[in-house]
Structure 1
Amino acid sequence: MAYGCWDEDLPFAQYIDRCKRLQYLRDLAVDNEALTPKDLVELCKTPKLESLVVKNFKIPEDIEFTPYQGRPPANLKRLEIIRTTSLPMGPVVEMIFNYIPKLKSLFWTLETQYYSIWFKPNDISQALPPLKASLLDLHLLLVDSWGFCNDQQLDFSDFVALERLEINERFMLARNYAATFPQHCREDLFERLPPSLKTLKVISCCHVGYSF
C-alpha cells in the first residue's frame, strides 16, 4: 500500500480503487482479521486479479450481506482461504461464490481454537453450487481440530469439471457418533464423486492421507 495511497480512515477495500497500480494485480495475498465478506468481494473486483490468498478470514454469525446487483462476475481463478475459523457454508459464502463463477481452484483450511466443531454437511453443499460448472481443484481441510456432524454426506457427483479433490474425512466420511471410527469403506463414496475426477485424497484426523 505504497505510493501515497495510505489513509488510516479509509476502508480497506477502497485501497483497490485508490491505488491505480493495483488495478493490474494478478496475484494478491491478504492477512487481515478485519477483512469483511464485502471487502473480499471488492478485492475480487480487481479487473485482472486471478489468484487471491486470504488469511484469518472470519464470517460473523449475525452478519447480513446484501447481494450485488448488475455487476459483471469477477475473473478470479484461484481462491485460498487459510487459517479461517469459518466453514464454507451459509448465505454469505454462497453470495461470495456467486460472484466468482469462473473459479478453478478453491482451498479452504479451517483452524479453530476449539478442539471440536459441529456442522451439517448439507450446509456446505448448499453454498457450493455456484462453482459446480467451473471448479477443477477443491481442497477442504481441518487443521488441529475435529469436526463432528450427522450422517449426511457431501456429494460432488454433479461437479462436472472437478479433477482433484483433497478433503478431510470429517467432510466426506461423516459419522453420527464422535467415538466411532471413520467409515473409510462406505459403499456410496464413489457414487458421490464426478466421472471427471482424476485425483482423490482423503485426509484423516491423524494427518494421514488416503489416496485413490
Structure 2
Amino acid sequence: MSSIEGAILALKDGRFVLVHDEAGREDEIDLVIAAEKVTPHHIAILRRVAGGLICLAVGNEIAAKLGLVFMHDMMQDFSRINPIFNKLAFGKAPYGDMPSFSISVNHRSTHTGITDTDRAVTIRKMAEVCKKINSTGVEDFSENFRSPGHVPILIASEKLLAGRTGHTELCIHLMNLAGLAPAVTVCEMLDSKTYKALSIDKAMKYAFKNNIPLLESNQIRSYVYQNVH
C-alpha cells in the first residue's frame, strides 16, 4: 500500500489515487481524482480504464447548503403519490449501508452532458460551487446547473467515517486532508475478463505499473484518527 502523504500529494497535483474499501463491504477499488483538477482526459481514463459509474461525491455540509437530499429520501416522499416508490427505496444495500446517491446534474454550458468534455465541465464547475459555498455558491448552483444530468452526485455522511465507511466518505476525507474542495470524482474499477469488480491483486499491479497511490480504508481511518481527532 502507498502512504497517505503520497496520495495527498498526488491529489494536489491533479493525479489519480486508488481507494479500496473493506473486503467485508463492497470490496471494490475506486479510481478517484479531485474534482477541481478534472480534465476531459481524466474522464476518458475513468470511462475506458475504470469502467464503472463516474460520480461526483461532495461533503455533507455542501449538500445541506445546496438543499440536496439523498435519493432514497426523495423516493420515500414520492411514495405519497405512488406507493411503489416506498418499496423501491426500502432497505439497505447488500453491504449494509444506505446508498449515498442524490440527484444528477449537467452544467448549463454543456450540450448533451455525456461527453468527456461536458462531464469535465460539470464536475469542475461543481467544484467551484463548493469553493464558493459560503458566498455565491448556492446562487451559482441554482442558476447554472440543470437536473437530471449525466453526473450523479453522492452525498457524504454527516459524520463522515463515523457514520458510513464508503468510498464517498473515505475520499471526502482525503480531500479535506489535502486542503482541496470537498468534491471528488470517483469511479469503480471493473474487470472485463471476470465481469466483476477488479480484484485487489490486479489493482495493485495496475497501481504499480502506472505509479498510482493505492490506499486501504483502514489506512485512511487510522490516519484520520491519529491526525485529525
TM-score per shorter chain, which class? Answer: under 0.3
Q: Which has the larger Rg?
A: 1
Relative contact order higher in (CA < 8 Å, ≥ 6 apart) = 2
Hey, which of these two has a bigger chunk of strand by percent? 1
Compute the TM-score of the two structures, normalised by the length of structure 1. 0.24
Compute the TM-score of the two structures, normalised by the length of structure 2. 0.22
Hey, which of these two has a bigger chunk of helix by percent? 2
